[in-house]
Structure 1
Amino acid sequence: MRHSHALTLAAEAVDGRLSRREFLTRATSLGLTAGAAYGLLGLSAPARAQEQRQDGGTLRIQQGVRALKDPRAYDWPQMANVTRGWLEYLVRYERDGTLTPMLLEGWEIDEDATAYVLRVRPGVTWSDGTPFTAEDVAFNIRRWCDRTAEENSMASRFAALIDADTDQLREDAVTVEGDDIVRLSLSFPDVTLIASFSDFPAAIVPQDFDGDPLETKGTGPYRPVEYEVGARAAIEKNTEHDWWGTDVYGPATLDRIEFIDYGTDPASWFAAASAGDVDMVFETVGEYIDIFDTLGWERSEALTSGTLVIRGNQNHEPYDDVRVRRALQLATDNTTLLELGYSGRGEVAANHHVAPVHPDYADIGPSDYDPDRAMDLLKEAGQADHVFEIISIDDDWRRNTADAAAAMLRDAGMRAERRVVPGATYWDNWTEYPLSTTDWGHRPLGVQILSLGYKSDAAWNETAFSNEAFDSILREAQGIADADARSLLMAQLETILREEGVVIQPYWRATYRHYDVSVVGAEQHPSFEIHPYELGFVRV
């Protein structure tokens, strides 16, 4: 990254034209260290809380315990929160928006974002004592680029490294130089790779990985000792492994961490907390945010691009008709959905899934609310008598949002019904439901979200949206390093999504986590990440 560009960005941040978070994400994704980025703002990087932790103890966390699979196929952060104890990442996305090196020591990107140099952190070892090297990095990138692997969401993020004819890593895409350098040669510019290295499916596995994350070595300080889907999981400190991260993050202090599944009803989470059966929760939602405050626990909040979408799957009639999709958008008021569905704790969105916290966001104005026009479109499409069944999970805010949307469809004159599916089975068919709700987690960049959810060949394209113009503009946007310039194309992408009626995307979530005052390192993360090596109890 050119230092002159970094200085320009810093000046924009200082005078208020650019938010601090936007600056930190932009600068660190292109190679500036977090310390240097903060320094350009005249600030010191936040200190970690490692000195406050006492040695030992067992920490109990309320969190869903989902069935594990190959990490590149992970589709929920809860999976990664457990395996993060031993399967670590090349890059870490921080609460303040910075992207910091983890198993990498750093990186450089050329001016047109087609050549990357990844520098592997020296001194890292696997839990069996063997060194972690550049060959391990290359192996994982090769795995991520395998389009033939079932559920591999990473492949859609690394198209610039993939041979379109073989659906595998291009022969000239990755070059290993010794033990500590990996060079990437992209077939087209893409500025999203570093941010993608930090996403939860990007856990680093060893070269002898057989597909089971519970039966593999890792580079982290913990090891799995218990895993029962829908009930509980536990990890314990690996006392036989000299963990490399002690010098960077401080020692991993807890002896044991337990993840306990209390289902999807927040009432059961609160009951466990008030009974002293857990020390922290994965997330606090809805009215329970205020209820948890009564425990005297710490409340932590994160600004996010996390959201919920209500979408018609375009492989199902009548959602293959843009008039029907637009009618659903026009019949629902996003401000009301935020208030009734999420108790107003967030910001109103505009039906295009790119957030103001994204550096490449473009403000194309609010979405329209026009129930009369909605019914006109529905009649024009010959679907005035269609029954719209909105399917949702049986939790708090997603159910409430779907209930409110169904009520507004009825108010507009449409026929609407609701179906609530238990959390234990909802996700078995989440990409196939005709009309349903899905929550999406935070990503650092807007182009990441669009690549994951709306590109024609994306692994998580639950809408079945396919648009050649959209794909072409998105690919061009991925190659533009300057976020202001990228936002010009983002305006086109956002407009296409909204005019095509792809989703009702009503709000951006502020997310919350409560934890006992004795717990350290449990602050809410924008992407719901839990870092086991930073957790602990207050030193007394």
Structure 2
Amino acid sequence: MRLSRRQMLVGAGLAAGLGPWLPAMAQPRTGGHVRAATMSSSTGDTLDPAKGALSTDYVRHAMFYNALTDYDAQLRAQPCLAESLDSADQITWHATLRSGVRFHDGSTLTADDVVYSLLRHRDPATGSKVRPIASQIASVRAVSPRDVEIVLTGPNVDLPSILAQSHFMIIKAGTTDFTSANGTGPFRCRLFQPGVRTMGVRNEDYFRPGKPYLDSLELIGIPDEVARVNALLSGDVHLINAVNPRSARRVRDSGTHALLETPSGLYTNLIMRQDGVPTGNPDFVLGMKHLFDRQLIKRALFRDFAVLGNDHPIPPIHPYYRADLLQRELDLDKARYHFARANLPSTPLPIYASPAAEGSVDMASVLQEYGARVGVRFAVNRMPADGYWSTHWMKHPLCFGNTNPRPTADLVFSLFYKSDAAWNESGWKNERFDRLLLEARAQGDEGLRKEIYGEMQEIARDHCGTVVPVFINQIDGYDQRLKGLVPVPIGGMMGYRFPEHVWWEG
């Protein structure tokens, strides 16, 4: 596989490498200040790309850093800091860096910076969220100031896509202080107040000519969706993510704002810890999977801004989606049968939900109602959005999660389903699944690769302690004077990469 400089130049022009993302006749304008609000913000906000966990982190990192590769609107890996990335055997990869790229402190990007940035993910002290993924990297070395050799522990055809993740963005060699940001990205860090706001100003030395278009960009978090929509419609902010489908009409009818809908792999899932009681009982797991009214959730909770899920993380829009798997549906008789075999306690089973996990509070209420019909009592504990991920997620036998889309099947399986993954939410372990994951990475034949991923979807559907009822279309709301936004299926706000690509016509 090779990502060449020619590929980069083919997409160049008006959008400086991302021409297909923009309308054919669009004429970006320079200037203006934009304020954006995402659904999360806390004292855990970080400027360290390795530690990014929430949408606010991903946007913040896109402001200040770049990766070796980047995604286009079809989630294909394209050159970014690396003008080429090639391999003959999918194990040993060679990257050639762009010349003349500078960090915000004026120093020149070199191979040493790439070596430092990639290897730090393997150090437990770094606290990298993608350490399980980085464990595939056996070595990284500087061949010359502009050339890097990356050797993997085994073949992986997805490496260019992996390196496009925001976690793998490049920092200056030796960086340990992240109270500010010293990256190569489109904005320089003017202010960073964790849990409050982030301010960036245009990087006049950015390597993509003409970009960014904005003079400055401010990023804040507003956890409450109603407050977020109110801030948009009042003009306090110009772009928000995670608009609730119930608010969609209100935004559309304003006359001055619009919606950007992005089909994606986003899902809110019920987590049944396999090390808990009774959640570790296979009959309890199957009972819960039959208790979900997926059609109701799609229609009533998400106003059809969603598609049905089948208890695995690969959405129907994905090229490896296995369409022939029998769709699991609401079946109270089967649920009652499995719950009877699970020997449940007589006390109510607590379910932890939060607005932080989109739709989870309403899903929990629906489960409570259907549970009563089959003789199972649930106690719904609604937790505030602030602090939910650090205090409750994966901390209770029965709780909800919310997973952002990932560009490849390997990434979502490696991060959330592999036995030793830090984010293996239910704590399940399946040796067959783990072996297939390694086989898929090495398989260059697309047909065979699809078969492997298809079996993995079936294993997760039948045995993993999670329920994925629907995949949620991401809905952003924006001021119509903000131009250049297009859907990118990895996530809202153009896959969280909007800072470089939008402009203001106010």
Name the TM-score, length of structure 1 as normaliser. 0.84
Residue number in structure 2 paired with 1:182: 148
> Is residue 376 of structure 1 aligned with residue 337 of structure 2?
yes
2:368 is matched by which residue type in structure 1? Answer: A
* Residue of structure 2 equivalent to 1:535: 502
Could you tell me which amino acid in structure 2 is paired with residue 187 of structure 1? T
Contact 2:41/2:223 (8 A) holds in 1: no
Secondary structure in 2 matching 1:329: helix
Alignment partners' CA distance in 2, 1:150 and 1:369: 44
**1:46 aligned onto 2:20:** yes
Which of 402, 411, 419 is the aligned partner of 2:381?
A: 419
Q: Alpha carbons of 1:394 and 1:284: their partners in 2 closer, same or farther (altered >3 Å)? A: closer
Contact 2:75 2:488 in 1 (8 A): no
> Is the alpha carbon distance of 1:346 and 1:178 closer, same or farther for their aligned partners in structure 2, counting shifts above 3 Å?
same
1:236-273 CA-partner distances (Å, limit 9, x unpaired): 2245xx21122xxx322322211233332x22122212
Say whether residues 1:215 and 2:180 are aligned partners: yes
Instruction: Note closer, same or farther for the CA distance 1:289–1:483 as it changes in structure 2 (3 Å cut).
Output: farther
Following the alignment from structure 1 to structure 2, what is the Cα–Cα distance between the partners of residues 47 and 155? 31
Q: What is the aligned partner in structure 2 of residue 287 from structure 1?
A: 246
- Distance between the aligned counterparts of 1:59 and 1:85, measured in 2? 13
Provide the C-alpha distance between the structure 2 equivalents of 1:45 and 1:81, rounded to a whole number of angstroms. 21
Distance 2:294 2:280 in 1: 23
Question: In structure 1, what is the Cα distance between the partners aligned to 2:449 and 2:5?
Answer: 18
TM-fit CA distance, 1:51: 6.3
- Separation (CA, whole Å) in 2 of partners of 1:419 and 1:376: 26
Q: 1:208 Cα deviation (Å)? A: 2.2
- CA contact 2:104–2:188 (8 Å) conserved in 1: no
Letter in 1 for 2:28: R
Is residue 2:271 matched to residue 1:311? yes
Distance 2:426 2:188 in 1: 38
Identical positions, percent: 22
Cα gap change, 1:262 to 1:158, in 2 (>3 Å): closer
User: Which runs of 5 or more residues in structure 2 are unaligned?
Assistant: 12-17
Q: Please identify, of 177-186 and 502-511, the stretch whose mean Cα deviation from structure 2 is larger.
A: 177-186
Quote the offset at 1:349 in angstroms: 1.0
Please report how far the alpha carbon of residue 150 of structure 1 lies from its aligned counterpart in structure 2 after TM superposition. 5.4
Matched, 1:62 2:37: yes
Report the residue type matching 2:78 in the other structure: T
The 8 Å contact of residues 74 and 488 in structure 2, kept in 1 or not, is answered as no
Is 1:144–1:155's contact at 8 Å kept on the other side of the alignment?
yes
For normalisation by structure 2, the TM-score amounts to 0.90
In structure 1, the residue matched to 2:14 is none
Tell me which amino acid in the other structure corresponds to 1:307. Y
Superposition map of 1:30-41 within 5 A: 33=7
Stretches of structure 1 lacking an aligned partner (at least 5 in a row): 3-27, 38-43, 162-169
Alignment correspondent of 2:327:
366
Paired with 1:342 and 1:276, the residues of 2 have a C-alpha distance of 26
Deviation of the 1:159 alpha carbon: 2.9
**Contact 1:300/1:524 (CA < 8 Å) preserved in 2?**
yes
Q: 2:409 is matched with which residue?
A: 446
Which residue pairs with 1:107 in the alignment? 85
Which residue does the alignment assign to 1:260? 220
CA distance in 1, matches of 2:126, 2:427: 18
- From 47, 70, 74, the counterpart of 1:96: 74
User: Do residues 503 (structure 1) and 463 (structure 2) align?
Assistant: no
1:347 CA displacement: 0.9
Write out per-residue CA displacement over residues 12-37 of structure 1, whole angstroms, 9 at most, x where no aligned residue.
xxxxxxxxxxxxxxxx7x99947879
One of 283, 307, 322 as aligned partner of 1:347: 307
Aligned partner of residue 321 in structure 2, secondary structure:
coil
Q: Name the aligned partner's letter for residue 414 of structure 2.
A: S
1:346-495 → structure 2 map (5 Å cutoff): 346-363=306-323, 364-383=325-344, 385=346, 387-394=348-355, 397-429=359-391, 430-495=393-458
Alignment check: 8 A CA contact 2:21 2:72 kept = no
Matches of 2:243 and 2:215, distance apart in 1:
26
Residue 291 of structure 2 is aligned with which of 314, 331, 334? 331
> Which of residues 95, 99, 108 is equivalent to 1:118?
95
User: 1:258 is paired with a residue of what secondary structure?
Assistant: strand
Contact 1:332 / 1:409 at 8 angstroms: preserved in 2? no
Give yes or no for contact 1:307–1:509 (8 Å, CA) kept in 2: yes
Task: Summarize the Cα distance change of 1:149–1:467 in structure 2 as closer, same or farther, 3 Å threshold.
Answer: farther
Give 3-state SS (helix, strand or coil) of 2:271's partner. Answer: strand
One-letter code aligned to 1:133: T
Q: Could you tell me how far apart the structure 1 residues matched to 2:6 and 2:329 are?
A: 40
1:160–1:189 contact (8 Å) kept in structure 2:
no
For 1:319 and 1:530, locate their aligned partners in 2 and report how far apart those are by CA, in whole Å.
Answer: 38
**Which string of whole-angstrom CA distances, capped at 9 and with x for unpartnered residues, describes residues 152-207 of structure 1?**
2222113322xxxxxxxx4xx22322122222222212223222212232222111
Deviating more after overlay: 448-457 vs 334-343? 334-343
Structure 1 residues 455 and 501: CA distance shift in structure 2, 3 A: closer
Task: Indicate whether 1:138 and 2:115 are aligned.
Answer: yes
Q: Aligned to 1:304, what secondary structure does the other structure show?
A: coil
Q: Name the count of aligned residue pairs.
A: 489
Cα distance in structure 2, aligned partners of 1:186 and 1:88? 22
Structure 2: how far apart are the matches of 1:409 and 1:464? 24
Matched-pair contact (CA < 8 Å) for 1:511–1:524: no
| Aligned partners of 1:34 and 1:99 also within 8 Å | no
Following the alignment from structure 1 to structure 2, what is the Cα–Cα distance between the partners of residues 386 and 484?
49
Corresponding residue number in structure 2 for 1:236: 201
Please give the alpha-carbon distance, in whole angstroms, between the structure 2 residues aligned to 1:491 and 1:437.
25
**Deviation digits for residues 205-253 of structure 1, max 9, x if unmatched?**
11121141x32411123222333344332222245xx21122xxx3223
Question: Per-residue deviation at 1:360?
Answer: 2.3
Q: CA RMSD in A?
A: 2.6
Task: Please give the per-residue CA displacement for 1:27-59, whole angstroms capped at 9, x wherever unaligned.
Answer: x7x99947879xxxxxx9616479633332211
> Against the structure 1 CA distance between its residues 220 and 339, is the aligned structure 2 distance closer, same or farther, given a 3 Å change threshold?
same
